[in-house]
A and B are shown apart, each in its own frame.
Chain A
């Protein structure tokens, strides 16, 4: 792990800088701390930070840019003629990278000498055999241009990393030397260090923004690729979902409508389970329950929210599905053919959402001012009349917001539908049929062996984009409603 070593070396240099900076400051003050502008530790930290921050910034940028640079350089070495029919440049480049990795592994394991690994006239078949022995998976036989490109790739990367190590260490040393030279008793070390820490804090906070940018870019970029291969109108308005992976031949039908229908149907069933139970539970807990009942029922209900979704998925697949099948299946009412169905997934998802609806509604009902209830009681209303006619209408916008948040959870839920809802995409009204959702199809399209350049794999990004926009829209809307409502009584 050379990068780990580099990391440790930089840390060591900055630790050394800390000691040097601190002692120089003390010396320039004649050993009397009162002559210093800042505490001695700040002088040390100043030197250490100036060694570390630019170095790690540079390291990250270098590590991101070098593969891009090497790839674009090596990619030019592979002639268009050597790219097979039905393949693409990106696939060939993946092969090049695998071969280069294999060469590296073979050299570290001592199967190949450095000279053999760089030999342009090496026998392709022999190399392929050696790489397999070194534990590298090489999919197709290595061709001459691929081998050459791989050798070049390897050499460029190796040189790149050695240059990087040298540059990084030099930058770290330069940071130490410059800031050490600046250090004297009048230097405003504390202000500088605090400014630097502030920048670091800001950088940490910006990671949230970077994540969003990363999500949006990775979705937009790949969705764009997908729409170049597959017409957008067929995707948004197509009513059949029938992907065919390249092995089976033929064009795929990738219409999103059956998936959206499955998503909405399952979410609807889930909300029909979760909203009445959650809402009534919240009403009882906030208006009727004694503190003792509340103190044990509320945390118990919230346990349901802390259980991982894989547990619910297994519960749907192995417990609820067979149970429903024994009632509604061929032995019972004859409506259901298999344990995986909209009903199974919807029911289990509903159970998962109960605490979500109940605790959000509970908060909102509790926020309704007591004066409104007292007014209603004063007019002679019973407790339930007060709740139905005063508290609930007052809390309604908030409750709608809570339900919308639950709906967005239901739409984005993956594990329960992957295990409980089946894999068939269909437009049907029968809730005992298997249907599938956007999230389940993202999983199935991206976990196969399909290459990333095919529309069958890229469609997952378009589905992800749809899902992202859908849930984001619901959330923003719900938060807007909740916030607006809260201001009403504050």
Chain B
């Protein structure tokens, strides 16, 4: 890369990915695509992986976090084991397990697209962290809340549904916000199994164009924007659901 000083060449994004010709309107037409087209579709993949994984993570993380606070020892053990298992294996290794190992151990999963395998991998990895936060949220409530629920004749599930969880989920919104931003960052690992997301784009486009700095800057900027957007959305959620009179609850 023989560049002296900073010779920006942002035109690289208007180039055709096949022969490197600069396209007049920066977007390809017909069968051709420019690096800009590719960048936008990669961003779409990053957001899809992140949002679907977040859904999986919230679902399993909440269930496991709740189980860990129940009086049933078996359920507590299940929740603890789940959390330790998915927390103590590196994300990249978990992605490889889903991609290389799970389909060969469970043949029906052989036709599942790798995109969904990555979503499961990233989702379950993050579910371990969310289960920690949900558990901490429930544990932070005064004991009396649970007792009061049971005392007025609620069953245990009803106590959770109507008394504990509405409070606990509000308490854990701030850590869930940072976990949601983490999931955008962690989705970068999907490049390792050839999902055409932003990091994969960065690696390949850098190689093809030798314009690494421009490409990386664009990709890094999109990661920033995505994480920031999630942060804003979570703030809206937080202020919508806040209970007047609670600490941090508002006016």
Chain A complexes with chain B:
no
